[in-house]
Amino acid sequence: MQVQSEEKPYDDINITPMVDLTFVLLVIFILMCTASVAGTKVNLPKGGAATKSMTAPKTKAISVNNEGKIFLETQAVTLAELEQRLGAMKAVGEFPVVIRGDSVTQYQSVMDVINVVGGLGISQVGLATKPSGSK
């Protein structure tokens, strides 16, 4: 049996760990880009250049669809139920609220939701819009 005293240099580089890392980063990027505020699908009005979206993890979405129905996240609620549920959540701690009104809904329906949120003293309120260049 012959023992080699010299170490043989590597002829090629093992790229398997780099490929694994690339795929993990790609999956993380895809998941982060598709994350958004949960809620009922509504046709958002267009905003100006100064608007930006709120995507904090504790954000509560209140949606008003084109028929004037109100949804807290994905559950249909009345104004009284909305006030009761938001009041219970506010007792636990502060959280931001995003109001998503359909572009063809009655303005009064959105104002009713804003009045409920303002009456509870929730100060972090945003109105969701589409960027001005999108359809």
Beta-ladder partners of 75: 72
Contact 40, 128 (CB under 8 A): no
- Can you give the pTM of this predicted structure? 0.55
Contact 48, 132 (CB under 8 A): yes
pLDDT, tens only, 59-101: 888 888 888 889 988 888 999 998 899 888 888 888 888 888 8
74: nearest Cα among 112, 38, 116:
38
Domain boundaries, the chain: 38-135
**Structure tokens belonging to residue 76:** 């249909």
pLDDT, tens only, 5-43: 566 666 777 888 889 999 999 988 887 776 655 566 667
Query: Is the model's pLDDT at 115 over the cut of 80?
Result: yes
> 48: which residues sit within 8 A by CB, 6+ positions away?
132
> 124: which residues sit within 8 A by CB, 6+ positions away?
94, 95, 96, 97
Correct CATH for 38-135 of 3.30.720.210, 3.10.450.50, 3.30.420.270, 3.30.420.40: 3.30.420.270
Query: Is the model's pLDDT at 55 over the cut of 50?
Result: no
| Chain mean pLDDT for the chain | 78
